[in-house]
Structures are given as structure tokens and as C-alpha cells.
Amino acid sequence: MAYKLLFVCLGNICRSPSAENIMNYLIQERGLEGKIICDSAGTSSYHIGASPDRRMQAAAGRRGIKLVGQARQFDLSDFETFDLILAMDRSNYRDILQLDPDNLYKEKVRLMCDFATQHRDREVPDPYYGGEAGFDHVINLLLDACDGLLEEFLK
């Protein structure tokens, strides 16, 4: 049975779809298709149905990674469906845990940067209101964290 990962940010158009697509890229690179399944969601309903942000697509494209998908909102059923839920920042982390008042799924929820090995960032910053450099930084940070997560999975 496949291990299921869910990446979560606020709107599901910048950070979490980037993490999902980067992880899928790394999975394919290592021939692990079918062993790990990825999805992404947002804690808000702001962008439901939207494609990944074009600036994020451009930043990923510069690294040879194509961003696909449509934004959706985190759903309570995601707690059951996914083995690991990765929040991009502490605010997302808190928002997810608020949906689990009995702490039944707390062990499934982690911060994405917990898996970064090359970057010191403890959160993935939201690049939405910034410039090109912010989007590039997020891609580099997520490449690092996704690689670290994959290494953890392979142990």
C-alpha cells in the first residue's frame, strides 16, 4: 500500500502545490512511483479550483519542474486519508490542529521545514506578495525539504 503525503499552505496556489509537484518529481526521479502518493490543500477557501500561481510556476520551471493541479481546501477526511500532513508554516500547522480538538491525528501533522537539511528556515515563507527572489527561495527550500523527507521515508 502506498504512503500518502498531504502538503498544506494557506491558499493552495503557491507553497503546497509546489511541494506536491517537487515531491512527485523526486519520486519519479528515483523510480518510486506508486510507493508514495502526494496531494496538496489549503487551510482557506480563497482559491478553490485555481491552478498554481503563475509566478510559482515560473520559478519551478526554471528548475525543470512543472506545477500542475487545482487548489482545494483541507477537509476533515484528510486526517484519515493521509499518513503524513505537512504544514508550510506555524499558522497552517495551528489551523490544521484546530480541526482536530481531540488530538487524534496530531502525530500525523509536521512542519515541512523539519525535513530541510541545507536551509535553516523553520517555516516556508509565503511568497505571494513578494518578488521573483521569494518564489525562487521557496522552490529551493522545498527541494531541500522534499529531498530530506524522501530520505527519511527511505530509511
Residue 86 host element (H or E): strand 84-87
Mean pLDDT, rounded, of the chain: 97
Domains of the chain: 3-154 (3.40.50.2300)
Residue 109 host element (H or E): strand 109-111
Question: Per residue in 87-106, pLDDT tens?
Answer: 999 999 999 999 999 999 99
Model confidence at 122, pLDDT cuts 50, 70, 90, reads: very high
Q: Which active-site residues does the annotation give?
A: 9, 15, 126
Average pLDDT over residues 123-142: 96
| Cβ-contact 14, 141 below 8 angstroms | no
| Cβ-contact 72, 41 below 8 angstroms | yes
Average pLDDT over residues 132-152: 97
In the chain, % helix, strand, coil (3-state, to 5) comes to 45, 15, 40
What's the pLDDT at 37?
98
Segments in the chain forming alpha helices (H):
15-29, 54-61, 77-81, 90-98, 132-154
Handedness of CA 38, 46, 126, 96 (dihedral sign): negative
Question: Per residue in 19-69, pLDDT tens?
Answer: 999 999 999 999 999 999 999 999 999 999 999 999 999 999 999 999 999
Q: What is the pTM of this model?
A: 0.98
What's the pLDDT at 35?
96
Q: How far apart are CA 127 and CA 133, in angstroms?
A: 9
| Cβ-contact 37, 4 below 8 angstroms | yes
Q: How far apart are CA 115 and CA 150, in angstroms?
A: 9
Average pLDDT over residues 108-122: 97
Model confidence at 139, pLDDT cuts 50, 70, 90, reads: very high
